[in-house]
Amino acid sequence: MKIRQALISLSDKRGALDFARGLAAQGVALLSTGGTAKLLRDAGLAVTEIGDYTGFPEMLDGRVKTLHPKVHGGILARRDLPEHLATIAAHDIPQIDLVCVNLYPFRETIAKPGVTLDEAIENIDIGGPAMVRSAAKNHAAVAIVTDPEDYASLLAEMAANDGALSDATRFNLAKKAFTHTARYDSAIANWLTSLDDANVPQTFPKALQFAFDRVETLRYGENPHQQAAFYRDPQPVEGGIASYVQLQGKELSYNNIADADAAWECVKTFGAPACVIVKHANPCGAAIDGKLLGAYEKAFKTDSTSAFGGIIAFNGTVDVDVVAAMSERKHFVEVLIAPAFTPAAKELLAAKQNLRVLEVPLARALQAFELKRVGGGLLVQTPDAFNVQASDLRVVTKKAPTDAQIEDLLFAYRVAKFVKSNAIVFCGGGMTLGVGAGQMSRVDSTKIASIKAQHACLELQGSVVASDAFFPFRDGVDVLAAAGAAAVIQPGGSMRDEEVIAAADEHGLAMVLTGARHFRH
């Protein structure tokens, strides 16, 4: 079906002129509203304003423009039903073959500081979604265009097909259109149901809608008998793992993406050059240094056994020295992540054809919400955004930590934040020495972290220890002291804090409290 008449009504006018010119050049008559009509007319295009077309002016401050039978009849009439065609002919309603609409900027409006309810309400589009849905419903005959990115390809297809668009194109445009209106309505519902009795937005709406776009269907999930797919937020947080560009390697698996996220979220919290190696969602090695090479060498030493088949993340540009060091150690890696790679590093990595290499922009923005599915429901929380500083520390023992110990304590606590609870992390010299993760008792995590260090032949004498939550009993302190630790960082808050602090004093340890727990489940 050749497109003979198009209705264009746009809030986002990017590319509108070129699209309208392209339609006009192919003989398409143009209908338009308000500001869009002025834009086209001022550019010298012949355009019929919607009020002249319907015989009714735009009214009620623009609230009513296109809500008219001559608009929706021309869009919704089925071209394959003679009675539909007879009806619109009897009422002098021409067919509208293409609708180009995007909606009032509701999201942009509510993102403004101090926006009022009245301002938000006036940016809820009514006529636009109605036209979009009408055209999408009748996609068998009508093309609905909601995305400026589609303009050029649609003009090219029309030019190649005597002014027509294929059934497949119109159906795909309809899918996109229904998604567009669904997300628009979701944004409205989320914001309105977040308002309290004083119309002040709260953190958690009463009704919560989410939207994600499928990036790819994965080979399988956590296990081969599970199906899986990867979806991306249509407006992904800056610097999130979903923004990756894969430079080489096999397809990413479900576990690859999950572990890559864990490694990336940890490494990007450090200001100094850093390396984090993750295995099964836990950092098995992490370090900072003056250069990425030094950070990698230190992180690898923590647990070279677990590092095999792990995920490595760097917070700086990876050069050929780092790649060469990985090769010298015959370090098998599933995924390598960094903000950038030098040309020489890329050339060397190209020999490892199966190695997945990802570039991710380095930005420290956080998601608005963290989500976890439970049976029949969803747990939603704000992200753990607290990064302890030296000024947050409270010394509770007779012995205070040295400046060097404070640096290591802060490093250790930052790593512990990304270790599954119960988490105990031994550190020294800007590197992890032993990591105890995911145990049901804190003392067992302490023992495991100590054993890990021993197996790696790493000296714990004079080390520091981070605990993601308080010590419920003194036994964990006894174990870490026996292993050689000299200072401890923990949030505090146990009913036995006095007993735990007394144990630290008994062993001659320095202990500082942060007041902030970092459980990770």
Q: How far apart are alpha carbons 498 and 506 in whole angstroms?
A: 12
Q: Is 283 helix (H, G, I), strand (E, B) or coil?
A: strand
DSSP lists the bridge partners of residue 336 as 312, 357
399 is catalytic: no
474: left (phi over 0), alpha (psi -120 to 50) or beta: alpha
For 340, other C-beta atoms within 10 Å of its C-beta total: 15
The one catalytic residue among 13, 176, 280, 352: 280
CA distances from residue 286 to 270, 409, 519 in whole angstroms, order as listed: 11, 14, 19
137 is catalytic: yes
Burial 124-150 (b: 16+ CB within 10 A, else e): bbebbbbbbbbbbebbebbbbbbebeb
Name the residue type at position 380: V
DSSP lists the bridge partners of residue 465 as 426, 488
* Residue 371, H or E segment: strand 370-374
DSSP lists the bridge partners of residue 214 as 231
The one catalytic residue among 13, 137, 291, 352: 137
Pairing of strands 356-359, 333-338: parallel
E strands of 391-451, at which residues?
A: 394-395, 424-428, 431-436
Q: Is 430 helix (H, G, I), strand (E, B) or coil?
A: coil
Cβ–Cβ under 8 Å, residues 466 and 427 = yes
Q: Rounded to the nearest 5°, which phi and psi values hold at 223? A: -130, 155
Burial 167-204 (b: 16+ CB within 10 A, else e): eebbeebbebbbebbebbeebbebbbebeeeeeebeee
CA-based R_g, the chain, Å? 30
94 CA to centre of own chain: 45
Q: How far apart are alpha carbons 302 and 457 in whole angstroms?
A: 9
Q: How far apart are alpha carbons 354 and 3 in whole angstroms?
A: 48
Query: What are the structure tokens assigned to 464, written together?
Result: 């520091």
| Residue 64: burial class (beta carbons within 10 Å; 0-12, 13-18, 19+) | middle
For 365, other C-beta atoms within 10 Å of its C-beta total: 13
381: left (phi over 0), alpha (psi -120 to 50) or beta: beta
- Catalytic machinery residues: 137, 280
